[in-house]
Amino acid sequence: MGTRYGWFCAAAKMCALGLLFVTQARAAPKLLIFGDSLVAGYGLPQADGFQARLGDALKADGIDVILLDGGVSGDTSTGGRARLDWALADKPDAVFLELGANDGLRGTDPAVMEANLSAMLDTLAAAHLPVLLTGMEAPPNLGAAYAAQFRAVFARLGKRPGVIFDPFFLAGIAGNPALNQDDHIHPNARGVMLEVARLKPLVERLLQQASRK
């Protein structure tokens, strides 16, 4: 009886360990989408927002991922820097970083924006989190010199080790009335779909990096 009971307990433990291993092996990675209204889905039904559409596109490719909502409308690089530690409490496996649009709209000194974004990338590097950094362009009314300085910030940061870089989040969408809402700033549902299609390969690459951690 004792031998049989001991064998049963050992088998039960092995079974439990096996189930635990399978559960851990199948755990979906967590991707933090950290940014402003452009990723928060401003002006759109939730189902048409960037995060929802990105999740749908990844699922269609057979990629199981948990998207953590770190989008705050109106946020700047200064605000993002202040709240990043709080967002990381959810323990993401990778981070999609999109900030800078509101810095440009406010005419923020590009050096200030660079310091903020650099500090965030330092934090993510210290946490060994792969990052997809997507850049932004300054509004044209601020002049060519400001626009060049603004663009150069993202070009420099995009060369950092461990960073996947996309130069312009609104590439192919900015300035096209057919792809933007009436405010001429935020993409409409069609614009979001084009955004997601363009960025999905980079996000998949990011998730591959996360899986190798």
Say which of 36, 103, 166, 186 is annotated catalytic.
186
Say which of 37, 75, 77, 103 is annotated catalytic.
37
Query: Is 61 one of the catalytic residues?
Result: no
Query: Is 184 one of the catalytic residues?
Result: no
Dihedral of alpha carbons 146, 150, 151, 152, sign: positive
Could you tell me whether strands 94-98 and 163-166 are parallel, antiparallel, or unpaired per DSSP bridges? Answer: unpaired
Question: 143: phi > 0 → left, psi -120 to 50 → alpha, else beta; which?
Answer: left
Query: Is 186 one of the catalytic residues?
Result: yes
Question: 191: phi > 0 → left, psi -120 to 50 → alpha, else beta; which?
Answer: alpha
Give the separation between CA 122 and CA 150, rounded to whole angstroms.
20
Give the separation between CA 51 and CA 124, rounded to whole angstroms.
21
Give the separation between CA 186 and CA 194, rounded to whole angstroms.
13
Say which of 56, 166, 183, 211 is annotated catalytic.
183
Question: What positions carry a catalytic annotation?
Answer: 37, 183, 186
